[in-house]
Amino acid sequence: MTLRLQRVPSPVGELTLVGGDAGLRAVLFAGEAAPAEAVEAPHPLLDEAARQLAEWFAGARTVFELPLDLRAATAFQRRAWLALAEIPYGATRSYGEQARMLGMPRAARAVGAANGRNPLSIVLPCHRLIGANGALTGFSGGLEVKRALLEHEAATAARAEAAGSSRTRTSPARPRRT
């Protein structure tokens, strides 16, 4: 399988999307290296990912509906990463809360380490994880980007609530994984 990459602008800087026929493999921030085997070339999946990210940044989408290529992840990483999609839009959870949600209440550090390797930022929203004291903690795009993503979600949710209905598109479906 040939991995493709596509660069897209966003309010938090250029993002690099990586994927192919098996699904979306990565959403990378500026400064993060794409896999060496990825070639810059069009792919319908990357076009769809770019469209859904644009909708998310416009406040018109809260959940992504994309096939994900998680084959490189360990079983624990897959569980931790997919659990990120269960954190409601505009909400945050601590690493300890996520560990309890996974049925492993003493594994907060392991959860932090697993999510530190999440290559699908925004799509699997690791920016929603915070420290037990409410502080922002490590994030591949940097803490300013993490803050901007959380502020974006809070503002979008507040606008939808003020309008009296959710104007954002949501889906109970979890991302398909391969």
Q: Which of 3, 68, 73, 126 is catalytic?
A: 126
Residues 6+ apart with CB under 8 A from 154: 90
Active site residue 126: yes
Nearest to 115 by CA among 144, 88, 89, 93: 93
DSSP the chain: ---EEEEE--TTS-EEEEEETTEEEEEE-TTPPPPTT-EE---HHHHHHHHHHHHHHHTSBSS----B--TTS-HHHHHHHHHHTTSPTT--EEHHHHHHHTT-TT-HHHHHHHHTT-SBTTTS-GGGEE-TTS-----TT-HHHHHHHHHHHHHHHHHHHHTTS--SB--SPPPPB-
Which residues are known catalytic residues?
126
